[in-house]
Chains A and B, each alone.
Chain A
Amino acid sequence: MHLVLFLIFAIFALAGAVNLLLQKHPINSALSLIVVMSSLAVLYLLLGAEFLAMAQIIVYAGAIMVLFTFVVMLLNEGREEKTWGSRTAKTLGFPAAAVLLAIFAATILRAGRHYGTISLSDGVTTTQELSKVLFRDLLLPFELTSVLILIAILGAVALARKDNGEA
């Protein structure tokens, strides 16, 4: 049962990711991304990480993607131009990517024999335990993320604001 679900949603995630790249219209790409995010959420659920799965749905598939789609619709950007990339990208890039993929796959498959199974929820199942990890053990990275987000906002404002002399 788990394997069937895994296969279905893994294929969904991959197909969504490929479709995202192939689509010409930004809206179609954004919708494909929602498919990817939701499929990933199911994969997390299969691994036993219920909270992560819920957060994935609410934050990514919900909030972020809705915002994304809104912005794309508001800007009303047209279809993107299709380029076929540079020659170097084709002659070197694709073989290199294939080799990398092969190395990753081989390593992970070989390692799979050595390792047992582990559940992501290992010991972290309730909200209380999760908060203990998030606000105690990982307090510093948690707080740091706020600086990171502040920088991202600051940078976006600095780069995107029009320079018409005022304000």
Chain B
Amino acid sequence: MTPDIFRILPEVVLTLVGVLVMLTDASMSPKSSRRLLGWVAALGVLAALAASLWQGTLPAGTAFYGTVQTDAFSTFFHVLICGIVLVAILLSIDTLPPDRSPEQHHVGEYFALMVFGAVGMCLLTSAVELLVVFIALEISSISTYVLAGYRKQTGKGPEAAMKYFLLGSFATAFLLYGIAMVFGATGTTEVREIATLLPAARSHLFVLLAFGLMMVGVLFKVSAAPFHVWTPDVYEGAPTPVVALMSTAPKVAAFALLIRLLYGVFPLLHPLWMPLMWVVAAVSMTVGNLAALRQQNVKRMLAYSSIAHAGYLLTAFTGSGTEPIAAVGFYTAAYAAMNVGIFALLSVVGGYDERRSSVTDYRGVLYSSPLSGGLMLLFLISLIGIPFTGGFFAKFYSFTTAMQGGAGWLVLIGLLNSGIAAAYYLRLALSMALPSAASAKAQGLSSVGAGVVLAVGIAALATLALGILPGHVLDAAHAAAQSFAAIRGF
């Protein structure tokens, strides 16, 4: 018998660390450097990561009266999310504006929000009760809304936060309405009970409406078309280290929630949601890639690219059995590694104040800082999906899964889209390789410290490891999928 507290141990650790960061911030003298807070937060998240790994050794089971469930699935996503947050915090230690500069403010709150946000994201992957799902989603969302608006002195920061907050709350309201309707149809909010009671629900239309509403909420969070409009504006306005976090961790959690909803709550509607995922996947990657082609701003371009990647991810859902869960799990890991990596380098090369923002600003980067430029190329190659990188293997796996499910046309659309995508990634790569314009100011890098080196190193190693030796992660993803296999119909 495992004590209940062990089932939420990573979340408990993260909450305590968040409080510790706040208290340390308050007890430090106003003049002293705040970098220490970043290291406290990073160590805390590392401890949470260890706790998540340890949770994997526990037998699967539920706790707190059936509201959370830890198994291979939750462990996989817990480790992934803790890893992303850890890298994002390490990155922020060095790339936030230096101490006592005018832009420097509320560093304590910054790190605390990142850690508290991780509580919500982690819990989202282990929650099996829709009330917990809702509160966890709110925790993760509200912390990202605030972090998105952290550059208050720029016009774009508050604009990003405001847009994200209004649209995000609207989407969450849809999800909540859906949850209320599911409760109306079945009289419970527990995932397992809903799945057993749904076939007996007397109004099929009611269930369909509930499903539709919940899908609107979740597809917004993963920024799939047609609910993607917020993405470019928010990514452009938010500080780059924050984008590294918010383009990956909340999305990973949202995909875990999507899996939970599709395979845990609505396996009954499988014939219905498979075509739906087909359409959303096709629209997302096409819209994302075509729009990315026309972008001059690098962050906006990568924002559209992340919409396209959401499309590739959703492609996997057209597969049969529980295979899609493993494919999605692996893809989220590879996507997180390369996306965190590229945004980490953007914050080093482009700077917190965005000295470089458009594609042409990156001219000559490969010569002025070969190491950063070379690593950026690595992440771009992975984003394109060239072999021996995580991006290639993830895409390959996702498309193979879709093929097995009989979605040949979708895979064709996906392959065509990958071709289009190569064009704009290569445009950035080419710009980096061109000699810098004579008029360009001498632009140095942000101060590079141990934090950045660790962050970029972890991301680069993960990207390569997932491409060359994907075995371990793949096994973990399969184990995660297995924990869903017990559900009827699969």
Residues in chain A within 8 A of chain B (CB atoms): 103-104, 107-108, 110-111, 114-115, 118, 136-141, 144-145, 147-148, 150-152, 154-155, 157-159, 161, 163, 165-167
Contact = CB atoms under 8 A, between A and B. Distances in A.
B109 A166 contact: no
Given A111-B206, A166-B30, A158 B135 contact: no
B240 interface: no
B64 A140 contact: yes
Interface string B184-207: 110100000000000000110110
B203 A141 contact: no
Contacts of B129: 140-141
A138 B206 contact: no
B8 A140 contact: yes
Given A140-B132, A163-B105, 14 more contacts: A138-B131, A139-B65, A140-B8, A141-B132, A144-B139, A147-B15, A147-B120, A151-B113, A151-B143, A155-B142, A158-B106, A159-B146, A159-B152, A163-B102
Contacts of A165: 102
A151 B120 CA distance: 11
Contacts of B139: 144, 147-148, 151
A144 B123 CA distance: 10
A155 B65 contact: no
Interface in B80-114: 102, 105-106, 109-110, 112-113
- Tell me the dominant secondary structure on chain A's binding face: helix
Nearest to B22: A154
Contacts of A110: 203, 205-206
Question: Quick one: which of A103, A114, A150, A155 has the most chain B CB within 10 A?
Answer: A155
28 contacts: A107-B203, A108-B206, A110-B205, A110-B206, A111-B184, A111-B185, A111-B205, A115-B202, A138-B67, A140-B64, A141-B129, A141-B132, A144-B132, A144-B135, A148-B135, A148-B142, A151-B116, A151-B117, A154-B112, A154-B113, A154-B116, A155-B109, A157-B109, A158-B109, A159-B152, A161-B106, A163-B152, A166-B30
Contacts of A118: 187
B72 to A, nearest CB: 21
A140 B106 contact: no
A67 to B, nearest CB: 19
Given A107-B206, A110-B203, A151 B132 contact: no
Interface in B25-41: 30
Nearest to A152: B142
Contacts of A158: 106, 109-110, 113, 146, 150
Nearest to A145: B135
Q: Quick one: which of A111, A114, A136 has the most chain B CB within 10 A?
A: A111
Given A103-B209, A154-B22, A159 B149 contact: yes
Contacts of A107: 203, 205-206, 209
Contact of A147 (B105, B119, B187): B119
B68 interface: yes
B159 interface: no
B136 interface: yes
Contact of A114 (B131, B202, B209): B202
Nearest to B63: A140
B145 interface: yes
Contacts of B184: 111
A151 B184 CA distance: 30
B236 to A, nearest CB: 18
A148 B134 CA distance: 11
B161 interface: yes
A140 B67 contact: yes
A129 B292 CA distance: 56
Interface in B146-167: 146, 149-150, 152-153, 161
B interface, over-half SS: helix
A165 B100 CA distance: 8
A165 B131 CA distance: 41
Contact of B145 (A108, A144, A147, A155): A155
A111 B185 CA distance: 9
A145 B119 CA distance: 12
B113 A155 contact: yes
A118 B187 CA distance: 10
A150 B405 CA distance: 45
B353 interface: no
Contacts of B113: 151, 154-155, 158
B233 interface: no
Contacts of A104: 209
B239 to A, nearest CB: 13
The 5 A-B pairs of least Cβ separation, nearest first, read: A155-B146, A111-B203, A158-B109, A114-B202, A140-B64
Nearest to A138: B131
B63 to A, nearest CB: 8
Contact of A137 (B8, B65, B68, B119): B65
Contacts of B117: 151
Nearest to B206: A111
B162 to A, nearest CB: 10
Contacts of A163: 102, 105, 152-153
A165 B102 CA distance: 7
Contacts of B105: 161, 163
Contacts of B65: 136-140
A138 B116 CA distance: 21
Contacts of B136: 144
Contact of A141 (B18, B102, B135, B209): B135
Contacts of A161: 105-106
A110 B18 CA distance: 48
Given A107-B206, A150-B116, A163-B105, A141 B67 contact: yes
A149 B116 CA distance: 11
Interface in B3-20: 8, 15, 18
B15 A114 contact: no
B342 to A, nearest CB: 27
